Structure formats: structure tokens, C-alpha cells
Amino acid sequence: MSNTKVFILDGGSLVIDGFHVYWNKGPGGEVRFPVYSVLIDHADGLYLFDSGFDYDHVMAVLPFEKPQQTREQTLLGAIEKAGYRAEDINYVINSHYHFDHCGGNKHLKEACTVCHANEFGQCKCPQPFEVLGYSDMTFHPDMQREKLRREGKEIPVSPDSDIWTPKVELLTGNQEIAKGMHLIETPGHTAGHYSLLIELANRRPMLFTADACYTRKGFDEELIPSFHLDPVKAVQSVRRLKDVALKTNAEVFVSHDLEQFGQYKTAPAYYE
């Protein structure tokens, strides 16, 4: 049995305002930030944590975020660069369903979609201030069912649930989803947000905060981003992650910090 390998897949970049990076703190002004996914080659299967943004979606719905994404930075391009095929991915785990974390889900037709149960509910009935965040729901079973309905096609129904395809698995609580892979509840940014801790054979554990922490400074100073559902829970989640990092001696990988991202190894290089 080979060691678990972790690939960071560069997914291009977007622009937001400094007041969005550091809520009510700033400074303001355009900030370009990286978007990435994490591919985990584990003995139990091939996992993807988040799937980046879809360039066409951003250009159509949020062009002011000025997406930059080369062919190699698309999800399919990045998976290929890491030496894998999209159809071999068994599970796509989304930290949450904001468009820059699930934009590639639509390409993973064979994978089981895994997320927090609260997120699955919220993304279909967002608060008015969450509508743009949850704007790329094309992969969602309900949307696919609706599409079939519009096209006059038959809608398959599984015997034990009304969710048919893609396969969906909803989780609550902290979960060791595979040996050494721990999902940690970090709500606040959204209703059901998960961060991911991965234990590896030859190095410190890797703690992927996802959007519970955009930047290293946010992690250190407990500054949350402006996009959130519950800022009180968001601050608690930063503290939870700091506690996890301390107890496990994990290296912290924040989600949207250009300077930090420059220090990460990206695919085809990997951590193990």
C-alpha cells in the first residue's frame, strides 16, 4: 500500500476588494487571489477537495472578479497535469458551495459528491446576500433534475432517496472520512463549511482551512472575510482551526492568500 499523496491543483485567480478579504478592516482596493483544489491519492480512493471556479460562469455572472485561468488551470487541465483522469476521481468533497469551490464539480460525473448537510440545504435557499456566492449550482442534483424536466426527459428516482445523480453523501459533525483524512466543521462563512486535515507518512499533517481562513494574516489575527452567513460562528471556526493546528502540529494552508500560495508545491509536485 503506497503512501497518501496530496497534490495542490492551481485553479487560476480572481479579484475582490480588500474590504472583502478583511471584513470591516481593509484596506480597500483590488486584491487578486489564488483559487486551488486539492487532489488526494489515498489507499481508499481518489479524493478531490474543492474544484475551483468555472471561467465561463464567472465571466457571465461575476465578471467584476476578473478571472484569470489558463488551460492548465482549469480543473480538467490541472488533474491531467497531476497525472490523473477526472473519471478516476471517486469522491469530490466541497468545503462549501460557493462558485469558486465547486465550479469543476460538473466535470466529475463518476464521483460521489460529499458535503455538509447544512450546506446542501442552504445553497438552494440562500439568504439574499448569498445569492452570488451560490450562483454556480449546475452540478446540483435538483438543477440536473430540473434540466431533464425542461427537456421532457425521464427523471430517474433512486429507491431510497430522491437524489439520483450525481451520487451525494451528506455529513454532519467532524468525520474521519478515510484513514488520516479528517473533515472539521468550520461554519460561519457558510451554513455548512468543512475544513480538511490530512495526516501524511513523511511530514507534518496538512490543514486545509478552505474559506474559514482566506489568508495567513486572517488566521493569525482572527480576521474573517466579509462574505459570511454568521460572523460569530466564523470567528469561532478560526479559533477551532488554530486549536487543531496547535494540537496536531499541522501546517496551515489557507484558501486565498497569493503570497502563501507562492510557497506551496503545486502539481505535478506533491506532498506525501
Task: Note if the bond before 166 is cis, omega within 30 degrees.
Answer: yes
Q: How many residues bind its own copies (CB under 8 A)?
A: 22
100 vs 58: CA distance, rounded Å: 9
Rounded to a whole number of angstroms, the minimum distance from the CB of residue 37 to its own copies is 24
Rounded to a whole number of angstroms, the minimum distance from the CB of residue 30 to its own copies is 9
48 vs 46: CA distance, rounded Å: 7
37-45, 172-180, 227-235, 249-257 -> range binding its own copies (CB under 8 A): 227-235
Residues 105-134 that bind its own copies (CB under 8 A): 127-129, 132
C-alpha cell at 105: 464539480
Rounded to a whole number of angstroms, the minimum distance from the CB of residue 140 to its own copies is 22
Q: Which is nearer to its own copies, 128 or 262 (CB)?
A: 128
- Which of 10, 50, 54, 100 is an active site residue? 100
23 binds its own copies (CB under 8 A): yes
230 binds its own copies (CB under 8 A): yes
- Contact 253/216 with Cβ under 8 angstroms? no
Residue 100 annotated to the active site: yes
Q: Which is nearer to its own copies, 162 or 221 (CB)?
A: 221
Q: Which is nearer to its own copies, 123 or 163 (CB)?
A: 123
235 binds its own copies (CB under 8 A): yes
C-alpha cell at 210: 478552505
Place of cell 478583511: 22
Place of cell 485567480: 13
Q: Which is nearer to its own copies, 49 or 219 (CB)?
A: 219
- Identity of the residue numbered 201: A
Instruction: Bin 94: left if φ > 0, else alpha if -120 < ψ < 50, else beta.
Output: beta
Torsion, Cα 140 49 51 95, to 10 degrees, reads: 60
Could you give phi then psi for residue 108, rounded to 5 degrees? -105, 65
Burial state string for 178-198 with b = 16 or more CB within 10 A and e = fewer than 16: bebbbbbbbbbbbbbbbbbbb
Place of cell 462558485: 99
242 binds its own copies (CB under 8 A): no
33 binds its own copies (CB under 8 A): no
Contact letters for its own copies, residues 59-98 (x by CB under 8 A): ----------------------------------------
127 vs 22: CA distance, rounded Å: 21
219 binds its own copies (CB under 8 A): no
- Contact 97/117 with Cβ under 8 angstroms? no
20 binds its own copies (CB under 8 A): yes
Q: Which is nearer to its own copies, 12 or 133 (CB)?
A: 133
**Which residues are part of the catalytic machinery?**
100
| Residues at the contact surface with its own copies, assessed by CB under 8 A | 17, 19-20, 23-24, 26, 28-29, 127-129, 132, 222, 224, 226-232, 235
